[in-house]
Amino acid sequence: MKRGDVRTFLPVALAALLPFAALPARAAELHTERSLYRNIVVVEDDGVRCMKFGRNAGGRQTCQTMNDPDRLVFDYTRMMMGALYLNPDPKRILIIGLGGGTLPRALQKVLPDARIDAVEIDPAVVRVAYKYFGFAPGPRTEIFEEDGRVFAKRMGRQGIKYDLVLLDAFDHEYIPEHMLTREFLLEIKSLLAPKGVLAANTFATSRLYDFESATYYNVFGRFYRLKRGNRVILLREGGLPDRDELGRNADLVEAKVAPLGADKEWLLPLFGVESGWPQHTRILTDQYSPSNLLNGS
């Protein structure tokens, strides 16, 4: 869901996505609709089917190879599977942002005994995921059609804890503003079990990059960042695992995740501890939001 106006940083941010996100002009349009929140378009080209938000936007939200639907197409989804290197056996998982259902599909396959809560604000996106991307919730997966932050607050009040939380909520521009702030991250932190893991999909290049880094650090401390097209932030309650633990956990899950395209030879070298933002970088808050920041107010 769109909050505020972050368009002033988008040209730089979108440039980082274009190498893998641009759609061929010849792609066949399979479906289009205007939901309450966005324009949803489904296109297919050369056996790859994609969902995007907005007719004129080049960026794709979800893509699926039709003859191998389980294989992860986007680098960022493969990097999100790196969360299992921080906890190889999560029992309860929260995913905020459904898209075509790529992440819950992958986690259902890799962790069939895990309980998965997937939250998507737009019922139209859920319908498209079912109809055009073959998404089918497993017996231990539940879909919630509501705002992800509202859901997180409710689970926090109920004392629910998750071993793994994945943040992948985007509109046609970027992450909704109310899911970028310190207050939201504190709500997510309250949901993490001891040694619970958070994975967040963000842009690799934008005017918000340092502010996002400072805000995550303020709430969680040190975190890993993986960059390939996008940046994926990975962290664990109680502190980051060292390289040896990452390697051991990678070995534990390799047979399950490698067939999806997330093998350890590709994934492990991407791990690095984020650092280098200016010391006094402002923290994003509900009152001092990205739009206030970028507009100079």
Same domain assignment for residues 140 and 218 = yes
Final residue before a domain boundary, out of 33, 65, 97: 65
pLDDT of residue 294: 72
Same domain assignment for residues 179 and 226 = yes
Amino acid at position 193, single letter: A
Looking at the DSSP bridge assignments, the partners of residue 236 are 197
Looking at 117, 147, 163, 168, which residue is catalytic?
A: 168
CA–CA distance, 50 with 241 (Å, rounded to integer) = 35
For residue 111, being part of any structural domain is answered with yes
Same domain assignment for residues 24 and 154 = no
pLDDT of residue 172: 74
Same domain assignment for residues 85 and 166 = yes
For residue 2, being part of any structural domain is answered with no
Same domain assignment for residues 50 and 119 = no
pLDDT of residue 296: 67
pLDDT of residue 10: 44
Same domain assignment for residues 44 and 124 = no
CA–CA distance, 221 with 28 (Å, rounded to integer) = 45
pLDDT of residue 9: 43
Same domain assignment for residues 207 and 244 = yes
Range(s) of the domain holding residue 40: 18-65
Please identify every stretch of the chain with a pLDDT value under 70, giving residue numbers as ranges: 1-26, 55-59, 296-297
Give the residue carrying structure tokens 């399979």. Answer: 30
Structure tokens at 208: 């918000």
3-state secondary structure of 222: coil
Strand order in the sheet with 230-236: 141-144, 115-119, 92-96, 162-167, 192-203, 230-236, 224-228, 272-273
The total of structural domains in the chain comes to 2
Whole-angstrom CA distances from 72 to 18, 102, 106, 258 are: 18, 7, 8, 10
Same domain assignment for residues 88 and 227 = yes
Same domain assignment for residues 125 and 25 = no
CB atoms within 10 A of CB 223: 19
CA–CA distance, 59 with 254 (Å, rounded to integer) = 30
User: Can you give the CATH number for the domain in which 269 is found?
Assistant: 3.40.50.150
Does the annotation mark 168 as catalytic? yes
- In terms of C-beta density within 10 A (0-12 exposed, 13-18 middle, 19 or more buried), how is residue 139 classed? exposed
pLDDT of residue 76: 97
Q: What is the pTM of this model?
A: 0.90
